[in-house]
């Protein structure tokens, strides 16, 4: 039996983590979300009765809620601790998602406000999450902390493919990767694996209600991906992504040099 804590399980990849991990009745899965009631309702409707799955309130922009979630988790897991902490929750802003960095020049207030929210969620919120749950990870057997990052944070990929969209989001994920490396630097000696994994380009319904202009920006990015990876046929499903990410983290270990690393769902630096 393994004990998992997964953030952001209300939808998309996070809900798929909840679904797959709780399929094994021997696993204990604790999901953290901002809207507990809505997620409990969704889980009941789509997953049925799974007594091994628990939903707790936990908001990366609210330290008190994370602290309370850690305390509640400790009560649920007891002396078993937590084997895996999956830092999946994150914020993907719309204001910079489809256009080049130059377009941000005329969005000063939006950029300043949006960047503050993005970095609080994707960087400092993750730092607090890790610090609060490390004591429980120390008690676990697997001792793995996985941060869901993005290939957009890879400087070589950005330069090679000339990816000029998603500037603030990419910067926040690059910062998250550094946070992961810093935690590895401190806790590697305790046998805790900290690792950033990109889930690939995943279809989660994000591009349904975009404008024609935004779609053009998105298609330009997709075109660059096709040049980068000729085998690329389009986004993968949450199910495919989660299965791949799980396979990567199961194989990864400190002994094999994965500590503090940043790799893809394919287990390397190929992002799609």
| Percent of the chain residues past pLDDT 90, beyond the cut | 89
Positions annotated as catalytic residues are 150, 169, 173
Q: Residue 225 has which token pair?
A: 């991906």
- For residue 210, the model assigns a pLDDT of 78
Q: Pairing between strand 193-198 and 84-87?
A: unpaired
Mean pLDDT of 115-126: 98
Write phi, then psi, for 144 (nearest 5 degrees): -125, 130
Write phi, then psi, for 224 (nearest 5 degrees): -65, -35
Q: Pairing between strand 28-33 and 3-7?
A: parallel
Find, among 225, 256, 177, the residue nearest to 267 by Cα.
Answer: 256
Does the pLDDT value for residue 207 go beyond 80? no
Name beta bridge partners: 55: 31
Using alpha carbons only, what angle is made at residue 94 by residues 67 and 236, rounded to the nearest 5 degrees? 85
| pLDDT band (50, 70, 90) for residue 220 | confident
- Higher local confidence (pLDDT), 208 or 93: 93
- For residue 191, the model assigns a pLDDT of 98
Helix count and strand count (H, E) for the chain: 9, 7
Query: What digits encode the pLDDT tens for the residues 246-261?
Result: 999 999 999 999 999 9
Query: DSSP characters for 22-60?
Result: HHSTT-EEEEEES-HHHHHHHHHHHH---TTEEEEE--T
Find, among 156, 144, 7, the residue nearest to 83 by Cα.
Answer: 144
Query: What digits encode the pLDDT tens for the residues 54-63?
Result: 999 999 999 9
- For residue 216, the model assigns a pLDDT of 83
* CA 208 to chain CA mean position, Å: 21
Mean pLDDT of 268-272: 96
Distances (CA, A) of 88 to 9, 13, 216: 8, 8, 28
Name beta bridge partners: 56: 32
Mean pLDDT of the chain: 96
Query: What digits encode the pLDDT tens for the residues 127-139?
Result: 999 999 999 999 9
Query: What digits encode the pLDDT tens for the residues 141-166?
Result: 999 999 999 999 999 999 999 999 99
Does the pLDDT value for residue 243 go beyond 70? yes
Q: Are 176 and 196 in contact (CB under 8 A)?
A: yes
- For residue 56, the model assigns a pLDDT of 98
- For residue 131, the model assigns a pLDDT of 98
């Amino acid at each position: 039996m393994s004990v998992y804590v997964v953030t952001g399980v209300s939808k998309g990849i996070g809900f798929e983590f909840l679904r797959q991990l709780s399929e094994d009745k021997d696993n204990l899965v604790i999901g953290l979300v901002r809207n507990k009631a809505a997620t409990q309702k969704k889980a009941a409707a789509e997953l049925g009765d799974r007594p091994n799955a628990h939903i707790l309130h936990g908001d990366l922009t609210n330290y008190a809620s994370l602290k309370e979630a850690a305390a509640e988790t400790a009560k649920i897991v007891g002396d078993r601790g937590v084997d895996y902490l999956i830092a999946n929750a994150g914020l993907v802003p719309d204001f910079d998602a489809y256009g080049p960095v130059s377009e941000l020049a005329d969005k000063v207030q939006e950029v300043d406000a949006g960047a503050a929210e993005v970095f609080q969620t994707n960087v400092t919120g993750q730092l607090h999450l890790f610090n609060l749950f490390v004591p429980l990870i120390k008690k676990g057997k697997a001792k793995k902390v996985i941060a869901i990052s993005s290939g957009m944070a890879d400087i070589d990929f950005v330069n090679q493919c000339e990816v000029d969209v998603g500037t603030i989001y990419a910067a926040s994920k690059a910062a998250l990767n550094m946070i992961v490396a810093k935690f590895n630097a401190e806790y590697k000696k305790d046998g805790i694996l900290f690792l950033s994994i990109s889930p690939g380009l995943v279809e989660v319904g994000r591009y349904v209600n975009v404008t024609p202009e935004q779609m053009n920006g998105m298609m330009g990015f997709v075109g660059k991906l096709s040049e980068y990876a000729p085998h690329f046929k389009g986004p993968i499903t949450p199910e495919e992504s989660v299965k791949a990410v799980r396979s990567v983290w199961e194989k990864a270990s400190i002994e094999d040099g994965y500590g503090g690393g940043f790799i893809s769902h394919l287990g390397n630096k190929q992002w799609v």
